[in-house]
A and B are shown apart, each in its own frame.
Chain A
Amino acid sequence: MRSDGESDTRPGGRPLVEFCDLGVTYPGGIAAVSGFHLSVSAGEFVVILGPSGCGKSTVLQVVAGLLKPTSGQVVVAGEINPPPGKDRGFVFQHAGLLPWFDIFTNIEIGLRAKGMSRKAARAVSQRYVSAMGLEGFGRLYPHQLSGGMQQRVGVARAFAIDPPILLMDEPFAALDAQTRLLLQEELIRLWEGSGKTIIFVTHSIEEAVFLADRVVVMARAPGSVKASVDITLARPRGEETRSDPQYLELFNTLWGMIRRDAQRAISETDLKEGP
């Protein structure tokens, strides 16, 4: 375990995504992120963990190219502050499916943007519909699917463009607890052995420990890296991982780190929402 808070790379891995002194200040002068350093190696599963309002989603949007940093930079595969591109897939918190397109067409959004023909794109989306256990749902509209099914489509859409980097913004946060566990297991199965680099944002400690190679804990106001914890749990992971004694130990370590920040976040929301 390291808690140096500085940019660090896994030994042996070459950095694929590198944040250098990243700062994002929103109009109005509120600094969401400041002095954020992080280096993510190729093939690494990094989870950014932090209480609500710590700027973790902001960081992800910068990597996606949806947001320009106000200071510092992010380097993705050698490119500084790249615009959105097909080398990065993105999974949104609320699936973000287009309600007027059926499931197939939703999965094909990235493929078609890459210039793939309708026919070739359909072949790929059919493959992912099967892989995600969505057989028979391809021609349905999103509103006909449960939240869990919708997010499976969101994940399928990201994997379908076969990007080296996947960005996931609290993808399971809006789901019920059981669906959430199942989708975590499905994601880890899809990812293990795929060689993809994942940056996954969450406020759930269990989720972070279960999924990550490394958990990056964020401090809030403004957001910066507070600590970096290696998750040495054995892979492949599955439901038995959750009963590993080390799992609980890691949970407690991380909880100890963010407890105070979380408490502060609660009292601030209380003030904001109070009478």
Chain B
Amino acid sequence: MQRLLRTSATFALLLLAWELVARLFFPVYILPPPSLVARTLVSLIVDGTLWQNLQVSLMRVFAGYFTAVVLAIPLGVAAGWWKLIDHTVGSTLELLRPLPALALIPLAIVWLGFGELSKIALIAYASFFSIYLNTRAGVQNVDPLHVKVMLVYGNGTRDVLTKVVMYSILPYVFTGLRYSAAVALILLVAVELVGSQSGLGFFLVQAQSFLQMPNMFAAIVVFGVLGFCANLLVAGLEKRVIRWRPENRP
């Protein structure tokens, strides 16, 4: 309670300072006051511009992120459990990992075009690694005692995977999911800034080229809210899924 009070007082003070500084020292095309940004945001919501762009962006980021999840978790489990897969597929992925995904944007555009495919692929690619690596680490950190318990009571590999591995990796998987959600958002902005005719990022570039600073700030705020919501969503899901107390966390 005390914390909440102090934090909100600080935020209110910061906003007030911004408002004053903006009004006293800067023209609107350099630094618009927060009140104007707020009004702009409301009008963007009301006239549907925001939703129109947001819709496109959300579709892209979800498609990319979802693709990454669907590929990364099974691959992470496979690489963590079977050495052969880790030494072949896993090593190949390890080779690609240090490559900054942003460097692949031009390549993706040449290969996959300016359409949705290149954007979704890039978001998927960048989001993949953290989920994959954390899942793999989760499998490698499965408590051998839990595996022993299953084996000694006559369970086979399938039961070990579905009753031990699937559960004990979850804290790791969620760490990957949370990190990747942030990465997906970064990639979303990047692909929409570079080669896009729609989406929130495109709206942002447009605002810049017309020096519509209130629009630009509004878009930035929406991106911030998006990041905040993504984190909240993953954390909420984690709380619902992991109801026991995990023994080890990454």
Residues of A participating in the B interface, judged by any CB pair closer than 8 Å: 64-66, 84-86, 88-90, 92, 94, 96-101, 109-110, 113-114, 141-143, 157, 161
Contact = CB atoms under 8 A, between A and B. Distances in A.
B159 interface: yes
Most buried by B among A66, A100, A109, A113: A100
Nearest to B242: A100
18 contacts: A66-B148, A84-B153, A85-B154, A89-B153, A90-B153, A94-B145, A97-B149, A98-B149, A98-B164, A99-B246, A99-B247, A100-B244, A109-B149, A110-B153, A113-B150, A113-B155, A143-B244, A161-B153
A212 to B, nearest CB: 23
Contact of A98 (B146, B152, B242, B245): B146
Q: Give me the 5 closest cross-chain CB pairs, A-B, nearest first.
A: A110-B153, A100-B167, A113-B154, A143-B245, A90-B152
Mostly, the A contact residues are loop
Nearest to A141: B244
Interface residues of B, number: 21
Interface of B: 145-146, 148-155, 159, 163-164, 167-168, 242-247
Nearest to A110: B153
B154 A98 contact: no
Nearest to A94: B145
A99 B148 CA distance: 14
B246 to A, nearest CB: 7
Contacts of B164: 98
Given A96-B149, A100-B242, A100-B244, 19 more contacts: A64-B152, A65-B152, A66-B148, A85-B154, A90-B149, A92-B149, A94-B145, A96-B145, A96-B146, A99-B244, A99-B245, A99-B247, A100-B243, A109-B149, A109-B163, A113-B154, A141-B245, A142-B244, A161-B153
B174 to A, nearest CB: 14
Nearest to A114: B154
B154 A86 contact: yes
A215 B164 CA distance: 36
Mostly, the B contact residues are helix
A66 B152 contact: yes
A84 B154 contact: yes
Contact of A113 (B145, B148, B159, B242): B159
A173 to B, nearest CB: 14
Nearest to A158: B153
Contacts of A161: 153
B152 A84 contact: yes
Contacts of A65: 152
A113 B151 CA distance: 10
A25 B155 CA distance: 26
Contacts of B159: 113
Nearest to B149: A96
A169 B138 CA distance: 27
Contacts of A101: 163
Contacts of A89: 153
Contacts of B167: 98, 100
Contacts of A90: 149, 152-153
A65 B243 CA distance: 33
Contacts of A143: 244-245
Contact of A109 (B145, B153, B168): B153
Contacts of B145: 92, 94, 96
A161 B154 CA distance: 11
A96 B148 contact: yes
A142 B246 CA distance: 11
B148 A92 contact: yes
Contacts of A157: 153
A84 B151 contact: yes
Contacts of A110: 153-154
A64 to B, nearest CB: 5
Nearest to A98: B146
Contacts of A142: 244
